Amino acid sequence: MMRIENLVADCRTAQIDYYGTDPASVAGVDRKRYLTAKVAGLATEVGELSQELDWPMWKDRDEFDHDISMEAADVLIFLGNILAATGVSDEILQTALDVKDRRNRRRAIGRADA
Ligand SMILES: [Mg+2]
């Protein structure tokens, strides 16, 4: 079982502590602006993570010696902020993760039997 603990709640608390903005209380046009900025941040961080992965196949590197945890953390923080602003709690996220995990597991088992 995959576990999400307090990602969304902790991201929400951090936004309140650092910026005085509760993502869950931003509404209307302000929420659209907030989400637009956070999605742009998320996309940027995914790009930075991709850069850390040495993804170009034409670069012949056998060894992987990068620590990608800091970029992964950036991705999770932006995602947590987006979830907090859209009403997705840690409990809701955990339920969705469980559903997806079961679905992926069934799919993998089906492939193994084929
Ligand atoms: Mg980054």
Spatial separation of the C-alpha atoms in residues 2 and 14, rounded to whole Å? 24
Three-state DSSP class for residue 16: helix
Domain CATH code at residue 92:
1.10.287
The domain tally of the chain equals: 1
Residue 74 CA to ligand 1 center (angstroms) comes to: 5
pLDDT in tens, 24-64: 999 999 999 999 999 999 999 999 999 888 777 777 777 77
Give the CA radius of gyration of the chain.
18
Range of the domain at 70: 7-113
Residue 53 CA to ligand 1 center (angstroms) comes to: 13
pLDDT in tens, 68-108: 999 999 999 999 999 999 999 999 999 999 999 999 999 99
Residue 63 CA to ligand 1 center (angstroms) comes to: 22
Spatial separation of the C-alpha atoms in residues 101 and 88, rounded to whole Å? 18
Measure the CA angle with vertex 51, ends 37 and 46; round to 5°.
30
